[in-house]
Chain A
């Protein structure tokens, strides 16, 4: 039996490019790195405190907003009495959900669930008659100071009638569970099946079968800068919203819809971002709310998310129940995993959709012909999810890598060897699975490099020696395949993006792009790429991002796509401009246009180096003499292009296979831990990783993002969790509860690279940025379990906090 997911109708109409355009003659070779990269842009501003983040925006007359949030996980709002708050002298505006109904339409979804066949519903910027999670916005106050706005919240009286709530996903699936959205009948948002072959039959017939469960706790992004918005209306009805957002253009479109304002009269400025990682995908009710409050107050209004409110937003709470059949050699014969995602309440922010890649990523880097994966998003009365780096792909990595180790343990084979026996071999690419067209890979080579980097054999010897002393060292391998650059037609989560390149008369170059940077450095890399095309200094290239008045429409920052889309588009635009400029140079210098090099700030004849113009002279001459001098026929020195990775397969093939992701970087990880068997405390001693994201434009930035992703994965594996109390309220309210890694918690991460170019992207790049989270979580999960092996117990729950590990030890009956 073969089942494959059916892509929605709208996905089938997208274009189907499958080839990479040839670069023009004379273009620098891009399928290799040039070993040089500029320093991070604006580093001096950041290092001296002069860079501007959203909370630094303070228009004259600024007022401050505070938001009243539900204390109940589930309740009917019978009424709201805001009269006392309104009577306070310093209060300018009080807005309730009922007030806001007439002022704003329901909020567009970041990712409309019905596009992928899920249930859906409508949400307002403030709850009107029912609340479904602790923290849901119920009313808002604007006052002259934030202190006064927050103080006034206590004077808003909400009459709630509490309803039964459900916090656990398994309980929410029971027939007698409280139902969040009555019109649905139950709490299932949808179902994502991914399957090929006959998994059940192959497992039933397999000589060896392992069944197990893995639970992952609710985790949270924790960017250092929380969200924030500053809204200002100008006389005449123009709105400017400064926003710490990853998607300024879609945010503008949605604001225009919600507020009933022509889109061209809305300007969204995505301010410099203090970390995004998915937390700042748009769709939040506060986005239109702050604009409404500003309109009502007739003054600029600022709202900055508190750390406690930031911690409301969830992610990653999954349960896996898997079974795998395998032969004597540890080769997988059949695999099934039923994944349940506790997505909290549905919301217009799109994090629930992490349940899609959680299943789609299977069977990862492994050649498994027969598998059946189901991923089920379930709504509960916890706060909604938003995106979190890894975006569900880390779930597949954890489950698959756990499975490889369980097979190794069962068969008495080294875990690395089990992986080698199951990897998709290099000659099999491009390789199809049910929902992926894998671009390229040298998986076993990456793993072997990681083992060498880690000194795997020496680690095993250390482990042996330590075990003899009664110490519990564990070595864990994690291999992660990270689908990147996803394109979901029908939504604003698109796989292409747009850049404009403009050459000024002075020879200065502007790049205006639809991709934004969360602080990862893509603006530096884009400037670098464009400067290389023109052979000019990188300092001569300015990059503007995030301002919807200045930049072409784009989709912002997500799924590690910036260079393959906006960066590639900028390169294409620069190449077109270079052709125009070469034509002009040929007319001016009476030479063959194809025979000009752009280098060292000049346009130089290849046959006669004396025949040249500086880049600036040429640009200025085109402006001054274009259409007036013979041959200077194209004085427009501005080009806008789009580009995308050329590996989307939206129309299912005859076997029903499709691929919404075009790029498949991967990484191999090895961790060494020591488990304190008396306390359950895990210490991470060593960490090594090999990354392969194809061609690398800026090696330092790629490494930096990997370090960060790996640290987030380590934190997620060992410490990070937002538990909920029986009252339905989240219990992690500060960084003393939500434990992200600090410098003393981590060793120096050893990192090396392998470069297997993608045949489908302009530059040979694959996505970089998310990769590393899942590999780290898997490596730590396996390392801790490896450490526990002499005790005869397994740990099945992430994060592996000391209580979880000690529970495993004690409940396993170890002495």
Chain B
């Protein structure tokens, strides 16, 4: 009677086959119904660049892009993501390359331990896709869903502005 109904196997932990596109590759993976998307990405698919900082939607270290929308993957039940197109930090830029945001983060020393990077990179990318010339307040606002404990955000904010500048320069060429 429902669109996605698991096998009725009374004692076992309910599980199912899940079809996802992850970083452009189609993947089929067996998941427990109770698994969060972040755990499936990390444990079942080996995408360990997606980090767990709080498992409560606060820190942003587990951020991925899901069907075009940046998303905290600890706030998604994997079973509900059937058919989703997901980009993790490993697929944020083509393998072997860094985009302007990543390069500016490196050049301006925008990170230290790097644990929080998935959230900050995806949030800045999301901002620049909407606003190619953000001001400092816009950048800080765009980072409000992420936590960093190392940098005081100074170089993060500067790097986001620098990435925007480089991208505008590219556009003008």
Contacts and interface: CB of A to CB of B under 8 A. Distances in A.
Nearest to A738: B58
B90 A47 contact: no
Interface stretch (B2-10, B78-86, B103-111): B103-111
Given A735-B54, A740-B147, A519 B48 contact: no
Interface residues on B, range: 35 or more
Interface in B5-59: 32, 34, 42-43, 47-56, 58-59
A734 interface: yes
B128 interface: no
Nearest to A49: B49
B149 A43 contact: no
Contact of B93 (A46, A48, A740): A48
B53 A225 contact: yes
Interface string A289-319: 0000000000000001011000000000000
B157 A743 contact: yes
A49 B140 contact: no
Interface stretch (B65-73, B115-123, B164-172): B115-123
A53 interface: yes
A469 B102 CA distance: 45
A44 interface: yes
Interface stretch (A434-442, A576-584, A703-711): A703-711
B58 A735 contact: yes
Contacts of B92: 48-49
B146 A43 contact: no
Interface stretch (A133-141, A271-279, A455-463): A271-279
Nearest to B150: A708
A47 B58 contact: no
Contacts of A744: 137, 140-141, 143-144
Interface residues of A, number: 55
Contacts of B90: 48-50
Given A48-B98, A275-B149, A705 B112 contact: yes
B113 A273 contact: yes
B149 A47 contact: no
A518 interface: yes
Which of B42, B107, B114 has the most chain A CB atoms inside 10 A of its CB?
A: B114
B154 to A, nearest CB: 4
A51 B115 CA distance: 9
Contacts of B93: 48
A307 B53 contact: yes
Contacts of A304: 52
Nearest to A40: B109
Interface in B131-161: 136-137, 139-141, 143-144, 146-158
Nearest to B156: A743
A56 interface: yes
A348 interface: no
Interface of B: 32, 34, 42-43, 47-56, 58-59, 61, 88-90, 92-93, 98, 102, 105-107, 109, 111-118, 121, 136-137, 139-141, 143-144, 146-158
Given A46-B117, A734-B56, A742-B143, 17 more contacts: A39-B107, A40-B106, A46-B111, A47-B102, A49-B48, A49-B89, A55-B51, A224-B59, A274-B53, A519-B115, A521-B112, A705-B150, A735-B54, A740-B147, A740-B149, A742-B144, A743-B153
